[in-house]
Amino acid sequence: GSVKISDVAPSTFGVIVRKADGSGHISDNLIKKDSETPCAASRTYRVPEGASRLVLPVTESQSLDETDEAWKAEDHSYSFPDATKDMSVKAKLEMNVPPDLPPHTLVEVTVSFDEYANLHVVMTVPSIGEQKELDVNFSPVSQEEAAAMSGKIDTIAFIDDI
């Protein structure tokens, strides 16, 4: 048989959001470690009552998977911070919202990870037409260097072929 080689997400990526009942926060993991790249996931949340500013911490975790007892299979979330392992906040998206914004207004979040190790996060509040985006690069080489290298891979000879 043939072997297929694919790039995968090196970590689990998610966002920290308030629980619907307001009792705390969870790390909602949207892209699971080892997902084939490019990959993306979207989730819809709601603006908390009385919010004038939305803050969306973006997280990276190394060891979150279904084998952890804390994993909730129905929503792929962890209670924050007690049930997380090796999690760190890598960036924050922030957006001011009108003080008269109705409670529970929808907020759409999309997280994507590409083959160049770029994490792209978009937070949108459709009802007011506001959108914020951020990019975090997890590659030890630049996108330009990676693109240049990818065109030269097939020219490398194995030691036995020399």
Residues 108-157: pLDDT tens digits? 999 999 988 899 999 999 999 999 999 998 877 666 776 666 555 444 44
Q: DSSP 3-state assignment of 3?
A: coil
Q: What global pTM score does this model have?
A: 0.75
51-103 tens-digit pLDDT: 899 999 999 987 545 555 544 444 444 444 444 557 788 999 999 999 889 98
- Maximum distance among all Cα pairs of the chain, rounded to whole angstroms: 72
Q: In what order do the strands lie in the sheet with 12-18?
A: 77-80, 25-31, 12-18, 53-61, 88-96
Q: How far is CA 12 from each of CA 47, 109, 120, 156, rounded to the nearest angstrom?
A: 24, 16, 14, 32
Coil, helix or strand at residue 24? coil
Strands 77-80 and 25-31, bridge-based pairing: antiparallel
